[in-house]
Chain A
């Protein structure tokens, strides 16, 4: 079995831990507990009959006063940049996070998750999605997710693994 390191980064309170919890344990909690440092989870997935172990790094969210620690990104095969679709600042900061990922390794597969999509009307969420797909045209997969409703969560990890394996 091959192992792949996947790192989730983004601003604080964008739902990185919830996305992982939904993906790994299929659970969700509304309670917000800040992540400190990094927490590592594992999840095995099957892709084209190959079993892959995802080593998923849930990294402490970036704030204005504390930026993301680049050492967590070392050796990452894939990165999920997570933003809160209801918080414009978290979407504005995505470029900074992507630049950091690229500065550590330009080979890492990157996807974007616009999380908490359940909090916006569908048309409004899709409008934002379209505008960010245009803005980040070099990112191959930008999607709406909701850890609460589980919308797009499996597809997000599946697509990232596809990208990792195709590299």
Chain B
């Protein structure tokens, strides 16, 4: 085959088309099929402005100038989509002579379609991953917001708890002062009587050393009792620092001794039964305060509706190494519709009640001491059971 025929054969089957343009950007030469890629209406390209034929070059005068001046050898615009369904690579070279540039158009439609499918697949996957990552990020953000909310709520609850503790403490202080007042009434009366007696004896000039000493002894005894009472109350209201095993009956008797005067004045009888050798493990003073809280509620109920035979019966038993204390009164009981709510915060049947006492009592027994505190109505009264 002659060389000319070989070149013709190559040319007929090639994928390249070309333009040659001059310094005025006019097309001076072009290949046969280049018009496939020209803008509509420019089928005869010779002596036409290249920017009209290939709008892709609009704005690129600077790049063309660089090629004409030899500051750049070529530039490439890959995968340029052309109507109807072509993709071409456009490469612009310096020509020979330099006053011309060669614009080569390479049909890369098949390659582009393959790449499009590959990119589509990759992008679809990336998009899914990206959406997943976005969802994860949002989830993490919601988690952080939730944690912040929980933190804030916990903080609020802690503050509320502190406030409750403060109010409870203040209420206890008030109770303590009230109880001390009751306990001191009798010795103060005796001291007052002794003083009056001494004064009378002195006036009558009948006060001898023996009588004086006897009266002073009596006064000192009462002062000592008052002092003991204050110390007992002080100890009782100090929170226990650590859990320890204590005798249940002795602890309860300590409470009933403290309030005995008050209950005697109000004609309320307290009966305790059960072994001395039943033990509980926990915070003794807090346990005592729970007992006191229940006894005080009973007393308040009796004061509201007094009767002839006001009685509180405390029974101490043990089962499965746990102590059971039932405190039963005959003060009339709690209305059935509210007995299920008596341990709720701020729940009180009394007009001046804080609604803290039984709530804190339940929290102390069940949260701090892993025990149980519950109540039920019994005949003519209510029965509280403490299991520790």
- For residues 333 through 380 of chain B, which have their beta carbon under 8 Å from a beta carbon of chain A? none
CB-based contact B79/A38 at 8 Å = yes
Q: At the interface with chain A, which of B111-119, B260-268, B305-313?
A: B111-119
Distance between Cα atoms of A5 and B56 in the complex (Å): 9
List the 4 closest A-B pairs by CB distance, nearest first.
A37-B79, A75-B59, A5-B59, A39-B81
Chain B 161-175 interface 0/1 with A at a Cβ cutoff of 8 Å (1 = within): 000000000000000
Q: How far is the CA of A160 from the CA of B335 in the complex (A)?
A: 78
A34 and B123 form a contact (CB under 8 A) = yes
B32-67 vs A, CB cutoff 8 Å, 1 = contact: the mask equals: 000000000000000000010001111111110000
CB-CB < 8 A to B137: which residues of A?
88
B112 touches A74 (CB 8 A): no
Contact assessment for B126 and A55 in the assembled complex, using a CB-CB cutoff below 8 Å: no
Interface size in chain A (residues, C-beta < 8 A): 32
Tell me the bound Cα distance from A93 to B237 in angstroms: 66
Q: Does B292 contact A (CB under 8 A)?
A: no
Q: Which of A36, A71, A88 contacts B115 (CB 8 A)?
A: A36
B110-132 vs A: 1/0 string, CB under 8 Å? 00100110011011101100110
The answer to whether B87 has its CB under 8 Å from any CB of chain A is: yes
Query: Considering only CB atoms and an 8 Å cut-off, how many residues of chain B contact the other chain?
Result: 33
Question: Is there an interface contact between B60 and A74, defined as CB atoms closer than 8 Å?
Answer: yes
| A72 engages B77 (CB within 8 Å) | yes
- Give Cα A13 to B130, complex, Å: 11
- Is A12 a contact of B123 with CB atoms below 8 Å? yes
Question: Which chain A residue lies CB-closest to B78?
Answer: A37
- Closest Cβ neighbor of A36 among chain B residues: B116
Question: Nearest chain-A residue to B137 (Cβ)?
Answer: A88
- CB of A21 within 8 A of chain B? no
Q: Are B59 and A77 in contact (CB under 8 A)?
A: yes
B80 lies within 8 A of A38 (CB) = yes
A13, B127: Cβ atoms closer than 8 Å: yes
- B303 is an interface residue with CB less than 8 A from chain A: no
**How does the 8 Å CB contact mask read for B76-98 relative to A, with 1 for contact and 0 for none?**
11111100000100000000000
Chain A positions within 8 Å of B115 at CB level? 36
The chain A residue with its CB closest to the CB of B121 is: A34
Task: Judge whether B153 is part of the interface by a CB distance below 8 angstroms.
Answer: no
Are B123 and A76 in contact, with the CB atoms below 8 A? no
In chain A, what residue has the closest Cβ to B89?
A: A37
Q: Is B133 an interface residue (CB 8 A)?
A: yes
The answer to whether A89 and B133 touch across the interface, beta carbons within 8 angstroms, is: yes
- Cα(A75)–Cα(B62), bound, Å: 7
- A5-B58, A74-B60, A87-B130 known; A37-B87 Cβ under 8 A: yes
Closest to A38 in B: B80
* CB of A10 within 8 Å of the partner chain: no
Q: Is A61 an interface residue (CB 8 A)?
A: yes
> Closest CB-CB distance, B61 to chain A, in whole Å?
7
Inter-chain CA distance A76–B61, complex, in Å, is 11
- On whether A63 and B123 interact (CB within 8 A), knowing A37-B80, A72-B77, A87-B130, the answer reads yes
A25 sits at the interface (CB 8 A)? no
Q: With A3-B58, A38-B79, A63-B122 as given contacts, are A75 and B63 in contact (CB-CB < 8 Å)?
A: yes
Binary contact track B236-260/A, C-beta < 8 Å → 1, others 0: 0000000000000000000000000
State whether B133 touches A60 (Cβ < 8 A): no
Given contacts A5-B59, A36-B119, A42-B55, contact A69 B78 (CB under 8 A): yes
Any B CB within 8 A of the CB of A86: yes
Contact flag A74-B59 (CB < 8 Å), given A60-B119, A89-B133? yes
Identify 11 residue pairs between A and B in the complex whose beta-carbon atoms are under 8 Å apart, listed by A's number.
A12-B123, A32-B123, A32-B124, A36-B115, A37-B79, A63-B122, A71-B78, A74-B75, A75-B57, A75-B61, A76-B59
Q: A55-B55, A74-B60, A76-B59 are in contact. Are A86 and B79 (CB under 8 A)?
A: no
How far does the alpha carbon of A23 sit from the alpha carbon of B361 in the complex, in Å? 73
Q: Closest approach, in angstroms, between the C-beta of B80 and any C-beta of chain A?
A: 6
Residues of A within 8 A of B75 (CB): 71, 74
- B134 interface hit (Cβ, 8 Å): yes
Q: A33 CA to B310 CA in the complex, in Å? A: 90
- Is A40 an interface residue when CB atoms closer than 8 A count as contact? yes
Q: If A3-B55, A75-B58, A76-B59 touch, does A36 touch B126 (CB 8 Å cutoff)?
A: no
A-B contacts besides A36-B115, A37-B78, 9 pairs, CB < 8 Å: A4-B59, A5-B59, A13-B127, A32-B123, A36-B112, A37-B79, A37-B81, A40-B56, A74-B62
Q: Is B127 touching A40 in the complex (CB atoms < 8 A)? A: no
